[in-house]
Chains A and B, each alone.
Chain A
């Protein structure tokens, strides 16, 4: 029984879940017979992993190598730290795994959705393609039909044409026959002196014009021709006259229009003095032209001579008028835009100046806003320290946010767990308190009895011995004393603290699963059912994972038995504990 083993007991109990499997494994690994081999094996293993050797450096080769407890403990500690680290890492990995799993799920669902979408779009596409194909088919059919129809039309036209020619041909043939017949008939009917064909008239009447009929001669022919041409000539003359009249009327209208245009345009010329020079010159030219043209003689001239001049002048005037009208239109629209309250049209300069002013104002306003913004930002940055700003900045990152959220939820879960544990613990504490009370009463009675029985013993000494017997075989006395002292006092003065300390102990364990608590609690309850000394013993019990300490404690069991004689009061408890140990193992 070494104190280090006790320590290791403690540490192991706090760090590793005590499962029977592990213990059984350990038990399989090391038995009382093969301790040496186990130690050497472990030494080899550890040295292989870069740990210092478990054996003491001995000067003489022959001497049996001694187990260096310190090194072993160090190694153990190292291993434990490593284990803790690993656990931490494992936890991290697990959370990451969880996260990745959820990510995976999300992605899978996304993937499924997208797949579905793809499928549906593919279906749609196929549908559209099908429709397109159908339409194309239809189109082709229609084209075919159209072509057929066109062909048909062409054919029909050809047929019509051929029929027409055939018809014309037949007609001509028939007509020829008909003509022949007619000729024949004519010969038969007309050339024969038909008595019947005659006019029977009482007396010839005079001509309507009173003249006598004239003989048909070449002269009459010529006269007829003359007359015909005369008639035609008259007709043409009449038409020419009409055209001339029309022309004259149109000219008159034109002249009037011209005059009106000039009268309309000339006051305008005088009014806006600032107008460009060229327009005024054009106007004057036009006026000159107009003066020329408006002379009667010019009007009476044939059109060819004056036409060009006239059309040119009219064109220029028309252009001026058009531009003027357009200007007027613009003005009117402007007036409409500006509203009617202003009786005069705002000059362009004024307008531009105004717009410029407004633009300047806008610029100024913008600048002001900018400076204000800057100031605000500065204030903000000065108010908060760098960390918070960085945090704030980080907060803007969505990923970070999400991660934080997840962590937050994790924390929350943990918190909930903790709360639950605490609740159970408080319950347990309350129960313990009650039990303790009962126990204390019992103990008080017992102590009274004891006190009454053992008035001869030094109470301090006896207690020391008793504890020593409980944790026997420990070479490290300092640690023992350190450990034992509070324990010794427990039954007397600080006994109340014992459940609290156990709870504290469990709490201090960073990642103790609930099962551990259950175990400890059950232990506690077991102990509570037994005596107070049992508790102290059991406190160390979870730490008995270490093989050696167990073996040590076992091996050391008989020792208190040997000292039984001196300690009368505790054999019951000791055996109890041992029985329990056996059970546990």
Chain B
């Protein structure tokens, strides 16, 4: 595995272009675009204020830089460095900005979710969408970029509007049968919309593209409900993670539950492999004195090399005791991801934070459990191969594939690694051995993010105390 040198970064803003050719990174109000193959700076743009959000357009031609504090969005073109575009939301304010799938429209959400403004780069036209709902995931585009579903709130009722992205025409508008809608997500085939209710109620609704209610599912009552939802890439399965620590998988024919994946704290099935991260025996050199500095002990996790060990069978995993009298308790399945080849599902149960559970979707049973030394922050599947990258916020990136798993230490220079503050301004990038891809087109929109995400997460984890700087 190859590593690049360390680049400076602010606000954890660093993104690969969807075609995998470029890398955009921000330092304060400057945006640098590098070519991935050479890592040379291709373009350098200067924005009006400190950049808070960047996003590549789907065709990798434009970059959107949002400065929420100023209510400003600046768009840069990679092909025409001189081309510029500045969108000012004025007194309405700005809380979110994103590209439409066609890469020619920008959707800005004003403060207080008063409206969404759709700015077009092709025409002078501006569209407004009123009453957007402020929720976890209120906007979703179909994979082909044709339709957008938007959650709305009018008269204390939830509505869903389906827009045609090409001309922002309202296609369907229907009331959702929810108390307090929290998220919507299109199926990858773009024909079914999954809608889930607030965590107070376990409710999953499935709507067809034309607004028909296909099915509704409720596993239990009187308890905290859905925490996360994930579609399988084939649209065959809908995985629903809930606060009871279980994942329920619904099928796409009857929309009934096929199986229930519990996350037990003790694993006693010899068919399941449990990989346990363990520290390699640190070499006791001259520098490693018995009275090591506490700071050294603190960073030991990020600097010492670790390895995986196959645990012998009755394995009990570390659990957190959730604080139940606080909102958003750390229980339940909060993160889920299907592998792109549809064979595996990776999950994390929030009260067993150190473990990643990998389920075999074909057999619908637990396949592998990875227990890390530190809580798992994020994981992402490689869009090309069956490979999972896991970030825990330490100095390591972990990779799992059906063949096995490994722990990779990120090489950072000693003085950089020692102080957490420096980590806030620098990002290190891990580049895989197959990087860059020989065929850029083959790399789909998610491609580069696979590698970038664990890295950026690593930055998040270490710099969070001084994010304000």
Contact = CB atoms under 8 A, between A and B. Distances in A.
Interface of A: 157, 160, 164, 168, 171-172, 175-176, 179, 182, 185-186, 189-190, 194-209, 213-214, 216, 220-221, 224-225, 227-229, 231-232, 235
Contact of B167 (A179, A199, A200, A214): A214
Contacts of B85: 199-202
B156 A221 contact: no
Nearest to B62: A205
A522 B184 CA distance: 136
B423 to A, nearest CB: 37
Nearest to A213: B123
B112 A235 contact: no
A205 B104 contact: yes
A221 B156 CA distance: 29
A206 B124 CA distance: 12
A185 B222 contact: no
A548 B179 CA distance: 139
B209 A228 contact: yes
Nearest to A173: B156
Contact of A224 (B84, B171, B208, B222): B171
Contact of B122 (A195, A202, A205, A220): A205
B86 interface: yes
B372 to A, nearest CB: 37
B47 to A, nearest CB: 14
A232 B191 contact: yes
Q: Which of A164, A197, A199, A232 lies at the interface centre, i.e. has the most chain B CB atoms within 10 A of its CB?
A: A199
B171 A204 contact: no
Contact of A235 (B86, B121, B167, B191): B191
A198 B189 CA distance: 36
Contacts of B82: 202
Contact of B146 (A198, A213, A231): A231
A207 B83 contact: no
Contacts of B103: 208
Contact of A189 (B102, B114, B146, B156): B114
B122 A224 contact: no
Nearest to B59: A208
Contacts of B164: 224, 227-228
B169 interface: yes
Interface stretch (B16-24, B88-96, B391-399): B88-96
B210 A189 contact: no
B167 A213 contact: yes
Interface in B149-177: 153, 155-156, 164, 167, 169, 171
Contacts of A207: 102, 104, 122
Contact of B121 (A204, A221, A225): A204
Q: Which of B167, B171, B209 lies at the interface centre, i.e. has the most chain A CB atoms within 10 A of its CB?
A: B167
Contacts of B122: 204-207, 213
A235 B200 CA distance: 34
Contacts of A190: 92, 114-115
Contact of A220 (B77, B90, B167): B167
A209 B104 CA distance: 10
Given A185-B112, A196-B91, A200-B86, 10 more contacts: A172-B156, A189-B114, A195-B90, A205-B104, A205-B122, A206-B122, A216-B169, A227-B164, A228-B164, A235-B189
A157 to B, nearest CB: 7
Nearest to A168: B179
Contacts of A168: 179
Contacts of B56: none
Contact of A186 (B114, B125, B167): B114
5 contacts: A189-B90, A189-B92, A208-B102, A228-B209, A235-B189
Contacts of B42: none
Nearest to B162: A228
Contact of A203 (B83, B147, B167): B83
A330 B103 CA distance: 73
Q: Which of B90, B124, B190, B208 lies at the interface centre, i.e. has the most chain A CB atoms within 10 A of its CB?
A: B90
Interface in B87-142: 87-92, 102-104, 112, 114-115, 119-126, 130
Contact of B222 (A157, A189, A197): A157
A194 B90 contact: yes
B191 A231 contact: yes
Contact of A176 (B88, B119, B156, B167): B156
B119 A232 contact: no
Contacts of B209: 228, 231-232
Contacts of A195: 90
Nearest to B88: A196
Contacts of B120: 213
A434 B84 CA distance: 169
A227 B165 CA distance: 12
B181 to A, nearest CB: 13
Interface string B202-226: 0000001110000000000010000
Contact of B114 (A185, A221, A224, A231): A185
A182 B110 CA distance: 11
Contacts of B87: 198-200
A232 B156 contact: no
A502 B292 CA distance: 128
Contacts of A196: 88-91
B91 A194 contact: yes
Q: Which 10 A-B pairs have the closest CB atoms?
A: A196-B90, A197-B90, A201-B85, A235-B191, A200-B86, A172-B156, A194-B90, A199-B87, A224-B164, A208-B102
Given A207-B102, A232-B209, A189 B91 contact: yes
A205 B124 CA distance: 11
Contacts of A198: 87-88, 90
A185 B130 CA distance: 13
Contact of B83 (A202, A229, A235): A202
Nearest to B101: A208
Contacts of B104: 205, 207-208
Contact of B86 (A172, A189, A199, A228): A199
B210 A229 contact: yes
B167 A216 contact: yes
A205 B92 contact: no
Contacts of B84: 201-202
Nearest to B113: A182
B91 A221 contact: no
Contact of A204 (B90, B124, B200): B124
Contacts of A205: 77, 83, 104, 121-122
Contacts of B112: 182, 185
Contacts of B210: 228-229, 232
A250 to B, nearest CB: 15
A58 to B, nearest CB: 129
Nearest to A194: B90
Contacts of B77: 205
Contacts of B115: 186, 190
B349 to A, nearest CB: 25
B70 to A, nearest CB: 11
Contacts of B208: 232
A160 B222 contact: yes
Nearest to B73: A199
A201 B208 CA distance: 38
B105 to A, nearest CB: 10
